[in-house]
Structures are given as C-alpha cells and as structure tokens.
Amino acid sequence: MLQFLKYVFATIVGLLLFFVVCFFILVGIGSLMSSSDEKTFVSKNSVLKLDLNQIIRENTPQEDPFTELLSGGRGPGQIGLPQIKEAIANAKLDPNIKGIYLHAEYPTAGFATLEEIRGYLIDFRKSGKFIYSYAEVMSEGAVYLSSVADKSYLNPSGGLDFNGLSAKYTFMKGLFEKIGVKPEIFRVGEYKSAVEPFIRTNMSDANREQTQSFINDIAARFYGDISESRKIPMEELNNILNNALIQEPSDAVKYKLITNTGYWDEFEQALRKAAGEENDKKISYISIHKYLKAEKFVKEGSLSNRIAVIVGEGDIVTGEGEDGSIGSDKIIKELQKARKDNKVKAVVIRINSGGGSSLASDIMWREIELTKKVKPVIASMGDYAASGGYYMAMPCDTIVARPTTITGSIGIFGMLFNVETLMNQKLGITFDGVGTHQYSDFPSATRTMSDAEKMMIQNSVNRGYEEFTSKAAKGRHMSIEKLKSLAGGRVWTGKQAKENGLVDVLGGMDVAISIAAKKAKLKEGDYRVKYYPIQKTGIEAFMEKFGKEREEEKLRAYLGTLAPLAKQVKTLQSMDKLQARIPFEMEIK
C-alpha cells in the first residue's frame, strides 16, 4: 500500500511538473512570436478581415502572441480603437487589399466608439473598394456598423435585434435591507443619481427625465445614421421599430436593413467575385493583427514633432491603478514626461470614463493645468467623459466629443456602508473599543453616525461640489450661475453638451489630433502620433488577464447571479469616500 501511494504521489508530482514546463514553453513560444519583426506579406486580391466581435478598447497591445496558440486564429478577446483605425486607413491605400470583410455580430463598445469606427469605414469606401459583412446573428450595434456595407449578409436561420434602445439600472436597496446593510449617502444635485441604486428600488423623477433625454438624443443619431446609409426614411424606420416588424432575417431584407440572407458559402461566393477571384480559388483573408505588421502606405511624419495621446480609460482611482482604470499617478507621470519632452509639441487627453475618485480627478486637473501652460492640451471624449471624466477634460484648451458621448454629470457624492445590523443581528459579531477623543473612530462602518459626523461629510461633499463647479466655470469661460444651471449631476450627450457650452467641437479622435496640430503650428503630415501609457506586451497582458479571470471565476462560483453586484460593492470599497461619477451601473442596449 505504501509503495502504491508513492507511485501515485510521484505521478501527481510528475503531472504538475509537466504542466508547469508546458506553460513556460508556451510563454517562451509566445514571447518569440511577439518579438518577431517579420513583416506580413499581403498577396494580391487580399481581403482585410475586420473582426469586431471583441471588446473594443481605447488602446491595446498591437499583438497578442497567444491568439494563434489558444484561439485557433479567431483573434484575442479585445482590440484597440487606434489599431482598427490604423488598419482601415492603411487598407484604403494598399493596392493589394481589394476590400473589407466586416465580421460584426456583438461588438462590445459604446455608441461613440461604434460611431467612430463607422466613420473610418465610410472613409474607406471613398477609395472605391468594397465592404461586405456577414453574420449569423446581429445586435443593434452590428446593424449600425454593417449599414455602411455594400453587401450585408445574414444567415437565413439567424436572428437580428432591432427594436430600439433602452437604459437599465440595477437597484440593490432590497438586497441591503435583507442582509442588514445601510448605505449612508451624501450628495449635491438632484440629478446626481449614482447613489440611487443603493437607496432606491426605482429611478427618481429627475433621473428618469435626464436618462430619457440623453437616450432619445443617442437614438436620434444612431437611427438617423442608419436611415441615411440605408436610404430608409426616418418615419418608416420608426414604424419598423414601434411595430417590431423585424421578426426574422427575411424581414430585415424586406425592410432594407440588410441586402441579403445567405449561408457562408453563398457569402464567400459573392465576396470572391467582388475580390476578382476565380470561382474555385480560395480567398486570401488577412486578420487585423497580422495586417498591422504589413507594409505601411500611410506615411508617418517626423519623430521630432509628436502629438502625445494620453489615454485614460475606466474608473478613476488614486495611485497607479490597474489595467482598465485611470490611476492618477500613472496619468500624471505621462503628463510630466510629455510636458518636458521637446519632441512632444501638443497633448491630446483621450478620456473614456464615467468618473470615480474626486481626489484623483482633482490631482490630474492640476497637472493638466500645468501642462497647458507649456503646450496645447486637447480633450477627446470617447463613450463616456462624465463627472470625474469631465473633470479631466474641463481644463483643456479645447474639448472634442462625439454626438453620442455621455458627458456632464458635474457633481459630487459620498457614500459609506453601515454594516452594524449585518454584523450584530445576522452574523452575531459585535464590536467594542476605546479612543482618545470624541471622533477617534470616525468614520466607522460598524455603528450609526451622529448628526455632527454626517454633517462633516456633507460639508466635505459641498466643498467638493463648489470646487468642481468653480473650476468648470473657469475652464468653460462661463459664469458660475450659468455653469450650475447645467450641473447638479445632470448627464448630457455630446451634442447636448455642445449646445450648452460644455463642449467645443463635435468629432472623434482625428478631429482632436488635427486641432492639437494646428494649435502647435504643425503642418499636416509633418508630425507623428504616439499613444501613452505604452501598452503591456502580449505576455504581460495575458498573465494579468489570466489572473483576473481566475478571480472572477471564483466570485461567480460562490455568488452566482449576485457576483456582478458584489463586484460593484468591491469596486466602491477600493475608491475614495468622495466620488465624482455617473450612475454606477448603467446598461444601454
């Protein structure tokens, strides 16, 4: 028996060693792949495969070495907006690229990002080259993107989501009451609805008003673009939406949302013909990640003249922050480097954030102010640049936003969780202690705060709001009275913000870069755009992603459907007690 156990133990150890060795071999192979500088050869009559069934971020590593090894060439789980733009712009000029195969079923991106990509595709078509799309199912975002295609195919047994936009909030008051947790809320502004999910079971009238307003504005742009591209009058398009006339793929053809229903082989035959290939010849597809290593036809300007694009994406936090968040220390370092680098002639702050720490937002505001004294600083807003995100934008020389950008939400709130009932009555845990002064244990999550303690926090929130609004008024060259009439936590679209003076110009990243170049007196084609912070290598990104996925798997295993709510609370606990952010969890679809 002992001998048998020895063999079993040796086998287990051997297997563990085998997997460890295999893992490091995999890392080594990936490292070699990622460090390869070999250019991609583009054969004649090639088709760029634009796979947008991914998380579309503001910036990502250009290459993930594990794409081919782990996903069979289907592409990584995320892709950067600058990389999409670079590939489309180069393909427009590449004589070996005949057109684009757009693969978009469930693109994970906000409306402003989809709008920007769609603009790149429209520009590509000016070359006279084709865009063909194919999908088995299509979300409304996919319909929006494919509306610019020459031919759009949908599998005849597939499905298409086309029924209008909705905004949904998740409310947790009932959960907190059941488990004995009482949120203590401090805020300024009737529209500052970020706290509502914790203290209400439904939307307030003010929140309902602002949400209906901005979602209507987004819908007008979203469906207006589809109407224009597909040549469907808006009256007819609204009739389709209000009466749910799209029930199956053939309906989408009937009402001109797409051009064809067909299976993959039928789509490929049409694509082969468009690419000028013979009927039996294999189409030469090239993925976006491979194409980024192909010959460059878009010529870059001088390295001595740079426009630094500093990307801030995610929740705003103090310190370095993690991937997917805006760490104030990290952004400050990039601003300081850009300010001191003589080769950097202008700075664009690219913001895609619903806000976060009020303190971190203010620290970055100061650094942007200092940078603005040395060289032009332009703000470019992505899907969101609200609350703390707007705080980052307001000191810039010029603010550029997409019409569908979610912005504004100028306001502050504070929140603490009182877990006394949960601990005492539900779990049987009690607390006791001593202190040297009256407020030694303030703030405390294990007892009810006194009125004086609550007033101290509310005063802090009030001061934060006055500071936010006064700095916003100064940055926008607006009276404080006028600014406050637009503040109070009110959320606006980019179009509405432009009409109200909170935004200067409507447009995307290219518009912001062009403005920065003009302010720096740089001629077109005489400068180079560089994105910062420098992205992690494919290996680093993989290791970080692997660790996060394991953590989220454990959370889902323990809490099931409650895991997303626990994640929200955990995120809140990692932030400062004063927050400048939009509604914490808002889903628009």
| Per-residue pLDDT, 436 | 95
Specify the higher pLDDT residue, 535 or 486. 486
Specify the higher pLDDT residue, 73 or 566. 566
192 is catalytic: yes
Domains of the chain (ranges, CATH numbers): 46-162+246-291 (3.90.226.10), 306-429+441-588 (3.90.226.10)
| Per-residue pLDDT, 401 | 98
| Per-residue pLDDT, 278 | 80
The mean per-residue pLDDT over the stretch 319-328 comes to 91
| Per-residue pLDDT, 32 | 47
Highest mean pLDDT among 228-232, 425-429, 564-568: 228-232
The mean per-residue pLDDT over the stretch 507-532 comes to 95
- Alpha-carbon distances, residue 581 vs 141, 187, 300, 384, 412 (angstroms): 25, 11, 38, 10, 8
Look at the block and give the residue holding tokens 């199912």.
Answer: 137
DSSP string, 556-569: HHHHGGGHHHHHHH
The mean per-residue pLDDT over the stretch 221-234 comes to 97
Q: Residue 580: pLDDT above 70?
A: no
Residue 149, both tokens: 């295609």
| Per-residue pLDDT, 76 | 46
Query: pLDDT tens digits, residue range 5-47?
Result: 455 455 555 555 555 445 544 545 454 444 455 789 999 999 9
398 sits in which H/E element? strand 398-401
Query: pLDDT tens digits, residue range 330-384?
Result: 999 999 999 999 999 999 999 999 999 999 999 999 999 999 999 999 999 999 9
387 is catalytic: yes
Lowest mean pLDDT among 106-115, 120-129, 189-198, 566-575: 566-575
Q: Residue 130: pLDDT above 90?
A: yes
Question: Which among 129, 182, 192, 498 is annotated as catalytic?
Answer: 192
| Per-residue pLDDT, 415 | 87
Q: Residue 121: pLDDT above 70?
A: yes
Report d(CA 218, CA 461) in Å as an integer.
31
- Alpha-carbon distances, residue 93 vs 89, 125, 525 (angstroms): 7, 11, 15
Q: Residue 308: pLDDT above 50?
A: yes
What percentage of the chain reaches a pLDDT higher than 90? 74
The mean per-residue pLDDT over the stretch 187-214 comes to 92
Report d(CA 470, CA 480) in Å as an integer.
6
Q: How are beta strands 355-357 and 578-581 bridged, if at all? A: antiparallel
What percentage of the chain reaches a pLDDT higher than 70? 82
- What average pLDDT does the chain have? 87
pTM of the model: 0.86
Question: Which among 46, 361, 387, 409 is annotated as catalytic?
Answer: 387
| Per-residue pLDDT, 118 | 98
